[in-house]
Amino acid sequence: MLNGVVLVAAVNRLRDEGLPLRSAIIAGAATRLRPVLMTALVASFGFVPMALSHGAGAEIQRPLASVVIGGVITSTLLTLIVLPTLYERVERRSKNNDADANAPC
């Protein structure tokens, strides 16, 4: 969630600086790629020992760790691929609606 907020904030900042929509999305995603991947990798690697455990309580720890690792990977992919695509679609649709509302009758 926080990675998505950071990505959208970066894109909005670039748009405020005057970049066109698509250029701002590409540049924002490129600049936020490393921080988003680093947070995901650190969280995933932190759960690897728990996912590979065989000791007492492992029957509870392994599934929990697997779900967390899968969720982190999925959310990272959604943040880097789906969020920029949705952002562009929503902005374009909003722009078209504003143009339609301002059109003379």
Examine residue 104 and state whether it is found in any structural domain, yes or no. no
Q: pLDDT at residue 101 above 90?
A: no
Domain that holds residue 9: 2-94
**Which domain CATH number covers 90?**
1.20.1640.10
In a domain, 67, yes or no: yes
Q: How confident is the model at residue 103 (pLDDT cuts 50, 70, 90)?
A: low
The pLDDT of residue 28 is 93
**What number of CA atoms fall less than 13 Å from residue 28's CA on the CB side?**
30
- Model confidence pLDDT, tens digit, residues 8-22: 999 999 999 999 999
| 31-79 tens-digit pLDDT | 999 988 998 899 889 999 888 888 888 888 889 999 999 999 999 999 9
If one counts the domains in the chain, the total is 1
Tokens of 73: 């990977």
Q: Which of 11, 33, 34 is nearest to 23 (CA)?
A: 11
